[in-house]
Amino acid sequence: MNELKKKLAEIQAQAEKKINEDGIDPEKVRIEYLGKKGDLTAVLRSMGSLSPEERPQIGQLANKVRAAIEAAIEARKQHLKASQLEHRLMSEKLDVTMPGERFEIGHRHPLTKIRRELEDIFLGLGFSIAEGPEVEYDYYNFQALNIPPNHPARDTQDTFYITDSVLLRSQTSPVQVRVMEKQKPPIRIISPGRVYRADDVDATHSPLFHQLEGLVVDRGITMGDLKGVLELFAKNTFGEGTRIRFRPHHFPFTEPSAEVDVSCFACGGKGCRLCKGEGWIEILGAGMVHPKVLSGCGIDPNEYSGFAFGFGIERVAMLKYHIDDMRLLYENDMRFLSQF
Ligand code: DAH
């Protein structure tokens, strides 16, 4: 009987030790000691050999041991549950004061940006935007603009021909003709868009570039109106202090014609590297719409007059942002583009 008491004490001690060992499932210990084939059950089974007086004593003791082991298992389970929760809370905690992840967002290409700025200036003056095809007839690109076949003006615009009569437009001026054919005065449009010329690529040339064309036709339109519009455009684009000047020039589709300069916005007109010491920078071509062009579109030049102008958008962007190589605008180098 003392043997059994000792054995029970041993079982309790072993079980309690095991229950609290790291990595041991307390339920396994329950099966090992209290299960059908468990150590404690074995002791209870062997009680048959005891005397009737001894049996209740050992029975009681065995029940105490069982209760103690059960209690230890429960306590261990509670402890494990609590520490698991704590672990989870620690590992899942969110530090709301940490700086967030920054996402790089894109932005518009500098050419698109400047085109929209230019459009805004003219939209603000009551112009609307007109578009025309990039694959154009020789008629609209040249003939209707008073540039007949063999006219020397064709040489200055090295044109991509698709057939004898179809080409890639070399200027945005054909949109003038298309608008005047369809719409009677008053007309007040700008036409920004791509143009093509068979030029080799270098710092100031590209076979594809962009122009912005302007056209106003109404009764009593004068060169003074042209000057007013261009002055506003120049101040808005290059700064309040900008002045403009007209130099006599020749374009077949305007008469009189002028090349227009803006005072150098880098030096204010004193002369610097940007304006090559001139104080002025050539920026666009303009003039009063030639009577032949008006009448060719069914508009009576005795009743109506108009002015037109056209300039390169790349040129404006390059001047404004001090870009010295046009190729930068087409190469999509992020180091360049991200500066805008
Ligand atoms: N189309 C001309 C060019 O590409 C620019 C131009 C000059 C447009 C005078 C005009 C104008 O409308 O009046 O060189």
Q: What is the pLDDT of residues 274-302, one digit of tens each?
A: 899 999 999 999 999 999 999 999 999 99
Nearest to 300, CA basis, from 246, 234, 215, 219: 219
φ and ψ at residue 7, rounded to 5 degrees: -60, -45
Cα 255 to averaged position of ligand 1 atoms, centre (Å): 12
Average pLDDT over residues 145-169: 92
Q: What is the largest CA-CA distance in the chain?
A: 141
- Residue 28 in this model has a pLDDT that exceeds 90: no
Residues 40 and 183 grouped into a single domain: no
pLDDT band at 90 (very low <50, low <70, confident <90, very high): confident
Shortest-distance atom of ligand 1 to CA 307: 13
pLDDT digits (tens, 9 = 90+) for 231-248: 999 999 999 999 999 999
**Domain CATH code at residue 206:** 3.30.930.10
Q: What secondary structure letter does DSSP report for 36?
A: T
Average pLDDT over residues 141-168: 92
pLDDT digits (tens, 9 = 90+) for 251-261: 999 999 999 99
What average pLDDT is seen over the chain?
92
pLDDT digits (tens, 9 = 90+) for 175-209: 999 999 999 999 999 999 999 999 999 999 999 99
Of 146, 195, 213, the residue with max ligand 1 atoms within 8 A of its CB, to mutate for a pocket test, comes to 213
In a domain, 104, yes or no: no
pLDDT digits (tens, 9 = 90+) for 91-122: 888 888 989 888 888 899 999 999 999 999 99
Q: Is 76 helix (H, G, I), strand (E, B) or coil?
A: helix
Residues 79 and 131 grouped into a single domain: no
Of 253, 259, 305, the residue with max ligand 1 atoms within 8 A of its CB, to mutate for a pocket test, comes to 253
The reported pLDDT for the residue numbered 197 is 96
Nearest to 212, CA basis, from 233, 189, 192: 192
Q: CA-to-CA distance for 324 and 204, rounded, in angstroms?
A: 8
Q: How far is CA 151 from CA 131, 155, 175, 248, 261, in A?
A: 26, 8, 20, 20, 26
- Specify the residue with its C-alpha closest to ligand 1, atom 2: 310
Is this model's pTM higher than 0.85 or not? no
Classify burial at 259, counting beta carbons within 10 Å of its beta carbon; exposed 0-12, middle 13-18, buried 19 or more. middle
In the chain, count of helices (H) and strands (E)? 11, 9
Residues 136 and 78 grouped into a single domain: no
- Residue 44 in this model has a pLDDT that exceeds 80: no
Residues 272 and 185 grouped into a single domain: yes
In a domain, 105, yes or no: no
Nearest to 278, CA basis, from 291, 261, 296: 261
Residues 192 and 318 grouped into a single domain: yes
Quickly list H helices, the chain. 2-19, 26-34, 39-45, 54-92, 110-124, 138-141, 174-182, 223-238, 291-296, 313-321, 334-337
Q: Which residue segment(s) compose the domain that 332 sits in?
A: 111-337
The reported pLDDT for the residue numbered 120 is 98
The reported pLDDT for the residue numbered 22 is 86
Cα 315 to averaged position of ligand 1 atoms, centre (Å): 14
In a domain, 97, yes or no: no
Is the backbone peptide bond immediately before 256 cis, with ω within 30 degrees of 0?
Answer: yes
Average pLDDT over residues 49-59: 81
Shortest-distance atom of ligand 1 to CA 170: 4
**CB under 8 Å to 18, separation ≥6 — which residues?**
24, 29, 32
Overall domain count for the chain: 2
β-strand pairing of 305-312 with 187-196 = unpaired
The reported pLDDT for the residue numbered 1 is 75
Residues 220 and 74 grouped into a single domain: no
Top-confidence residue, 256 or 68: 256
306's tokens: 């108009």
- Specify the residue with its C-alpha closest to ligand 1, atom 6: 310
The reported pLDDT for the residue numbered 31 is 86
Shortest-distance atom of ligand 1 to CA 213: 12
